[in-house]
Amino acid sequence: MARKARRRGFGKVETKTDRHGRKYFQASYPTPVEAFATHPGISARQYQNFDDETMADGWLSAEKRLIDSGAWTPLGERKAKRRRETITFGEYAPEWVETRRRADGTETASSTKIKRRELLKNHLLPTFGKMRLVDITPAAIDRWLEKYPRDSQSAYNAYTLLKPIMQSAATDPIDDAGHTLIGKNPCTRSMSRPPKKHKTVVASLAQLKALYDRMPERIALTVYLGGALGLRIGEILALRRQDVDIDNRVIHINATLKPDVGPDGRQVIVRGIPKTRNSIRDVPIPESLVPMIAEHLAKHTGKSASAYLFTGRNGTDPMWESTYNNSLRIARAGIPGLELYWSHDGRHDALSRDAELGASNALLMALGGHADIRTVSVYQDASSEAHQRSVIGRLDAELARSLSDGGQPNADRQSENNTELSSVGSAPASPPSPGDGGAPSQDDGSDGLTAMLAVMPLDERVAVLRRLDSGKRQRALGLLPRDARVETMAALFEEEL
């Protein structure tokens, strides 16, 4: 309830009570007439609240002096200026991480927030935390980056977070006048992604069989789900009984496991949406894996439709990826050539093997759940189901041979492919038929091209292959030595994995 204001030469101060019964003093004065022309929509009076009446009087006197000297500006504008001049990176960046949304307006994934918090804590806040945003310059950023070794993955990741944070500070308005916290983004340099330290480990079907045999029985199936079908490890650990359709030989991929933070602040894992919209897909099961999957469901999976295929110690909750990796690390140690093998290597290798068996670009993207298909034709889309079954049938034959002969790979596969591809005639190349993966049926000089590609550095080899049409590209890949072929396929799909 307001008390009648005491008369003053300029403005007024009213005593008021808030909803909690606390008394405060509201000072106000008429907005200068000339301000209405330069600040359309400005309110007729300017207000400020104080706990002490003397402070309210002092504020009115200060405002009168600004008006008399011609230096007056609206209160909101001054507040925005003070914020621009005082807010630090340590005040702004954590709030940005917690509240920033994706471009489509959806909330940022919890796993992304966790990674960003770690980058802030370990790399950005120690240097920039106490700095005002306006003091973060290109030179300051260069000095920070100089502390890191060349090709540092940590520096690259931290910079790729710093850049959008500063971009928001430079473009997001903080008042109705459109003012921003900084004038422009100081992150002006371009940084190339450092080369990955981990080189993709290629596992033959024989080695997959050996790894399957050495893994704990309750999670052994993961070896083929990743290494033969190309599933991501998060997708594998999120599988439930209802996601596996044995009768129709298909696995429904509709979720992945992600880290999150529980109510008590501790990290937990949750079953959430997959990496991209295209990651929601159906993956055919080769016939030779059906008995293996059926046995796992019977022995290691609960009876309810929502029961997880791979569980932790309590037999109910899904297994953590870190727990899975511990078992994989132990199992791979005893297999020559797989000492550094990780689950994502299996995904790389599975998609490369599908390409070797004749999968088209469209099918590879569909099987892998990629978000961007750059070379898809309407003919490939129309025949994708039949083409998919054809490729899975060839994979099934390879798996059946591997599983039946103690894990020995098909040593003749590469020589048969080379013989088939090198024995075609020399007539002009004809267009590939729809849905056949783009493989040409005539000689188009791929043998000579492959010889040249085989001795090229990886980045140059990939650049050349990207410029070829799908038929020539697939034929050239088929003629490369297996290690070079898998390495190249991994690079071609790197952005989509």
- CATH level 3 topology of 86-171: DNA polymerase; domain 1 (1.10.150)
pLDDT on residue 427 = 32
Spell out the alpha helix ranges (H) of 87-220. 89-99, 110-119, 125-128, 138-145, 153-171, 205-214
Which string of DSSP letters, residue by residue, matches 194-253?
Answer: PPPSSPPPP--HHHHHHHHHHS-GGGTTHHHHHHTT---HHHHHT-BGGGEETTTTEEEE
Longest CA–CA span in the chain (Å) reads 105
Q: CATH for 205-411? A: 1.10.443.10
Q: How confident is the model at residue 2 (pLDDT cuts 50, 70, 90)?
A: low
d(CA 124, CA 96): 13
Q: How many other CB atoms are found less than 10 A from the CB of residue 259?
A: 20
Task: Parse the chain into domains and list their residue ranges.
Answer: 12-72, 86-171, 205-411, 436-497
Average the pLDDT over 66-84 and give the result: 86
pLDDT in tens, 378-410: 223 333 454 455 555 666 666 677 777 654 434
**CA within 13 Å, CB half, 223:** 30
pLDDT in tens, 36-73: 988 888 899 999 999 999 999 999 999 999 999 999 98
Spell out the alpha helix ranges (H) of 405-492. 413-422, 446-454, 458-466, 470-479, 482-492
Cβ partners under 8 Å of residue 325, min gap 6? 342, 343
d(CA 486, CA 461): 13
d(CA 19, CA 53): 19
Pairing relationship of beta strands 45-50 and 23-30 according to DSSP bridges: antiparallel
460 or 281, which is more confident?
A: 281
Pairing relationship of beta strands 12-17 and 23-30 according to DSSP bridges: antiparallel
d(CA 113, CA 115): 5
pLDDT in tens, 422-458: 332 233 333 333 333 333 334 445 556 666 777 777 7
Q: Which of 175, 179, 170 is nearest to 96 (CA)?
A: 170
386 or 355, which is more confident?
A: 355
